[in-house]
Structure 1
Amino acid sequence: MPDLSQPGERATVATYHRWYSAGWVLFGLAPPALGVADEPTAVRLPVWAAVTALGLCYASLRGHAERPAVRPAAFLAVLVAGMGVLSALLGGGAALYVVSLPLFWIHSPGSRAPVAWSGAAAVVSVAAGLPREQWNPQFFGGDLTITTFGYAAGVGLGLWARRVLAQGEERAHRLGAALEDTQRQLAAAYQRQGAAEERERMAREIHDTLAQGFASIVVLAEAARENVRTDPARGSRQLESIERTARENLAEARVLVGSAPREGIAPDSVARTLRRALDRFAQDTAVAVEAELGDAVCDQPTRIALLRCTQESLANVRKHAGATHVGATLSCGDEWIELEITDDGKGFVVAEANGFGLDGMARRLAELGGALTVTSAPGEGTRILAALPAREEAAA
């Protein structure tokens, strides 16, 4: 049967029923009522009474589809009785029987009940319409044949329709189960993807903040251990830098675990923030730093990305480049903000680089619609160019 729990299916079935009801009244009830207009009162009034009773009973059944005033079984009983009365009064009722066949399948569950109801209606209609001359060839060649053929055709079509509907329900059930299984698999895949992306984000944040801070602490601690005896003033400055870096790492750790808000970069202070990072690098490594930082106003994600790119580039210079000079340029146009960091270190083959830092920078910039360009060669230093769309705080 159609899935009547769906509004669309209910509306379609209701439309079909309305059309069939109109056809049943027009071709089933109207012909007997009109056909006896010229008959004697003894025939005319009972026919009209039977037709009216059938119409009212059917209207009561269809008037409230969810809670009908007449139960379907009661209506079918009245229908069978009405067919018998009309067949007896009119000398046959094959036409009404054929037109009414769908009612037995519409208002009966399963397959056995419609077969039984339609068979009972056929027997009653034929038996009540038998003329006094029971072997009248005209009767056996007309109403009996039509009723018998109609019953056989109705049973065949009804069983076929019920089988098709059952197969459709089974197929819909299988498709629904497959859809639910697919939805569960998609949900699990999205969950795994989200977990993987979150792990990647956390790994990038840890690498760009905590790991770089710890690496700086290790280098500064090694240098301070040597300078405590030979150059106490410089060793003291290095110890202060270790303390400052450790406090910053602690603050970053609290941000990563969600126990503190992400703060520390004022709305229009990206140039000053990068300047502090460059000054710290120059102080800790004694590498000459030349910076030209323009006044760039951008949103918070852009400022954080520029700071992380600067920190990662300086960490790579500290660990790998062996440079004596670092240059930094921040420029802002109408559409793009560009950060360029160069060094005169030993360089490397870009195609062979497989570290997490450069890949993390590229991913961070790509998430904001930007791009990372790395230019380097052995013995020729390195150039890092980070480009991001210019987005002001208000636009963000």
Structure 2
Amino acid sequence: MGHGQRQPSDRLTPDRIRLGNTAVWILFGLLPTAGGVLDRSPARKTWMLCLLTLIALCHTVTLLRPHTRLLNRRSYLCLLALALGGSAYLLDGGAAFYVVSLPQFWLYTRTPRDAVTLSGAAAALTVFGGTLGQGWSPQLLTGNTVFTLAAYAVGSGLGLWIHRFIGQSNERQERLTAELALTQEELALAHQRQGAAEERERMAREIHDTLAQGLASIVVLAEAARAGLTTDPGRSARQLASIEQTARENLTEARVLVGAVPASGVAPGSVATTLRRTLDRFAQDTGLTVTAELPDLDLDQRTRVALLRCTQESLANVRKHSGASTVGVVLSEVPGGVELEITDDGDGFVVADSRGFGLDGMRRRLAELDGDLTVTSSLGDGTRVLATLPAPAHG
């Protein structure tokens, strides 16, 4: 893990802050106070050491087990205030011990009101204990009393400011958290909408490339069969058989689209065999001359499906729009990939004016496989469709 990342155990938690304050309190509070009574009378020395031991034990219990029934944090702070007053009496002043103990009144209370109240009581007891131990004199106004009261005022002001700052930070964090949650919901909804739109586009492309083409072929074949019932019954019979075969294939494609068949609708096998079967059906249905160069290339299923769909769409365009008499199909392996070229000698068209769904669908399908589609055509010069795909994974 990088040095800039902090483990959860390195975070500055309230418990860690209390432990750090405890170390400071012992070093600069308990120990100096205990040392300050060593030159006093045996009675005062005994009382002070017992008092410091008691408050140290209470502090330890409160720190380690803050929710005990006998001594909760509020009770401990009350005892601490009394201990500060007692130590001030025994030492004839305890402002320093009060200053070091002051942070505990903010660390062990839940509300600023409790902190101000308890630390104020501790300040009053410290002043009272010191006054009682020394007796009243004007020097107290510039010594223990002033120092204690000043520490209380500064501590209360600083504590209230920190509490307010933390409150504002928490509110800001909660607001940012709420905004983040809302943004995440909006982002998830946007992803969902994008996914739905992409799925609708995919379904539209699949329907156009399969069902729509098949239904269009059925319509054309049915019209031709009806027209030839009296003049050429044999051809009409072949066309009816082709209609039946196309309808069966469309039924299979429909089952694929609704998820009844967990496959692409294209049987595994040689791409050459699949394309040749498609071209034979096209030649039989249309009577056009079809030439093909289809080497038996080893391609994966997604590539075979993409090449088949491009062939089907191109042949459908030839049937509907070109007025061609000859169609040529060439599949070839080139450095770094495979190419499928489909040409016809039809009327041609202006490629820039084409707004059909079929060409866009082919481009998107090939782009999903990092492929490309090039369409070359002009009026009266036929059309050339070139589909290029990168070298596929074998399978």
Output the TM-score relative to the length of structure 2: 0.94
Residue 43 (1) aligns with residue 44 (2)? yes
- Cα distance between partner residues in 2 of 1:167 and 1:276: 74
Tell which deviates more after alignment, 133-142 or 229-238. 133-142
Per the alignment, do residues 65 and 266 of structure 1 end up closer, same or farther by CA in structure 2, a change over 3 Å counting? farther
1:249-264 aligned at under 5 Å gives the runs 249-262=250-263
Structure 1 residue 159: Cα displacement: 0.8
**Mean CA deviation greater in 138-147 or 275-284:** 138-147
Q: Give me the whole-angstrom Cα distance separating, in 1, the residues matched to 2:314 and 2:278.
A: 11
Counterpart-to-counterpart distance in 1, 2:246 and 2:70: 84
For residues 347-362 of structure 1, the aligned pairs below 5 Å read: 347-362=348-363
**Aligned partners of 1:370 and 1:386 also within 8 Å:** yes
Q: Tell me the equivalent position of 1:151.
A: 152
Report how far residue 170 of structure 1 moved: 1.1
Task: After superposition, give the CA deviation of every residue in 1:3-23 in whole Å (9 maximum; x if it has no partner).
Answer: xxx956965433333222111
Which residue identity is paired with 2:41? P
Residue matched to 2:207: 206
Conservation of the 8 A alpha-carbon contact between 1:323 and 1:343: yes
Q: Which residue of 1 aligns with 2:3?
A: none
Whole-angstrom CA distance in 1 between matches of 2:257 and 2:71 = 69
Quote the Cα distance in structure 1 between the aligned partners of 2:368 and 2:143. Answer: 83
Kept in 1: contact 2:339–2:389 (CA 8 A)? yes
The alignment-based identity, stated in percent, is 56
**8 Å CA contact retained: 1:268, 1:296:** no
The alignment status of 1:95 with 2:96, answered yes or no, reads: yes
Q: Matches of 1:297 and 1:173 in 2, distance apart? A: 59
Q: Residue 371 of structure 2 corresponds to which residue in structure 1?
A: 370
Deviation at 1:69, TM superposition (A): 7.6
SS at match of 1:338: strand
Q: Gaps (5+ residues) in structure 1?
A: 1-5
Q: Extract unaligned runs of 5+ from structure 2.
A: 1-6
Change (3 A) 1:129 1:108: same
Deviation string 1:7-56 (CA, Å, 9 cap, x unpaired) is: 56965433333222111111111111112223322111111111111211
Cα deviation 1:348-395 (Å, max 9, x = unaligned): 11111110000000001111111111111111111111111222345x
Bigger mean CA offset, 249-258 vs 127-136: 127-136
Please tell me the residue identity of whatever aligns with 1:211: A
Following TM superposition, by how much is the alpha carbon of 1:68 offset from its aligned partner in structure 2, in angstroms? Answer: 9.2
Per the normalisation by structure 1, the TM-score is: 0.94
- Relative to structure 1, the CA distance from residue 247 to residue 162 in structure 2 (aligned partners, 3 Å threshold; closer, same or farther) is same
SS at match of 1:380: coil
CA gap of 1:335–1:14, structure 2 versus 1, over 3 A, is farther
Distance 1:136 1:70 in 2: 38
Distance 1:326 1:317 in 2: 8
Structure 2 residue matching 1:289: 3-state secondary structure: strand
Could you say if the C-alpha distance between residues 333 and 69 of structure 1 is closer, same or farther in structure 2, counting changes exceeding 3 Å? farther
* CA distance in 2 between partners of 1:233 and 1:217 (Å): 18
Look up the match of 2:326.
325
Distance in 2 (CA, whole Å) between partners of 1:243 and 1:38 is 116
Q: What's the counterpart of residue 388 of structure 1?
A: 389
How far apart are 1:333 and its partner, in Å? 3.9
Cα displacement (A) at 1:269: 1.3
User: Separation in 1 of the partners of 2:134 and 2:48?
Assistant: 23
Tell me the residue number matched to 1:52.
53
* 1:64 positional shift: 3.9
Map 1:1-396 → 2, pairs under 5 A: 11-64=12-65, 70-131=71-132, 134-262=135-263, 265-333=266-334, 335-394=336-395
Q: CA deviation at 1:188?
A: 1.2
CA 1:140–1:283 in structure 2 vs 1: closer, same or farther (change >3 Å)? Answer: same
User: SS in structure 1 opposite 2:136?
Assistant: coil
Structure 1: distance between partners of 2:153 and 2:137: 23
Contact 1:267-1:393 within 8 A present in 2 as well = no
Which one-letter code corresponds to 1:261 in the other structure?
A: P
Cα distance in 2 between the residues matched to 1:36 and 1:234: 124
For residue 185 of structure 2, what is the amino acid of its counterpart? R
The answer as to whether partners of 1:33 and 1:48 remain within 8 angstroms in 2 is yes
Q: Structure 1 260/266 Cα, relative in aligned 2: closer, same or farther at 3 Å? A: closer
1: CA distance, partners of 2:69 / 2:189: 46
Listed one character per residue, the Cα deviations across residues 142-186 of structure 1 (whole Å, up to 9, x for unaligned) are 110111101110111111111111111111111111111111111
Matches of 1:149 and 1:249, distance apart in 2: 92
SS in structure 2 at match of 1:229? coil
Q: Quote the Cα distance in structure 2 between the aligned partners of 1:126 and 1:214.
A: 101
SS at match of 1:130: helix
Of 308-317 and 258-267, deviating more is 258-267
The alpha carbon displacement at 1:109 in A equals: 1.2
Q: Cα 1:12–1:32, aligned 2, differ >3 Å: closer, same or farther?
A: same
Task: Quote the Cα distance in structure 2 between the aligned partners of 1:67 and 1:327.
Answer: 91
Amino acid at match of 2:214: G
Paired residues in the alignment total 389
TM-superposed CA distance for 1:230, in Å, is: 0.7
Relative distance call for 1:207 and 1:52 in structure 2 (3 A) is same
Once residues 66 and 361 of structure 1 are traced to their aligned partners in structure 2, the CA distance between those partners, rounded to angstroms, is: 71
Give distance in 1, aligned partners of 2:205 and 2:257.
11
Taking a change above 3 Å as real, the CA distance of residues 96 and 362 of structure 1, as seen in their structure-2 partners, is: same
Indicate conservation of the 8 Å contact 1:60/1:68, yes or no: no
Q: Distance in 2 between matches of 1:275 and 1:293?
A: 8
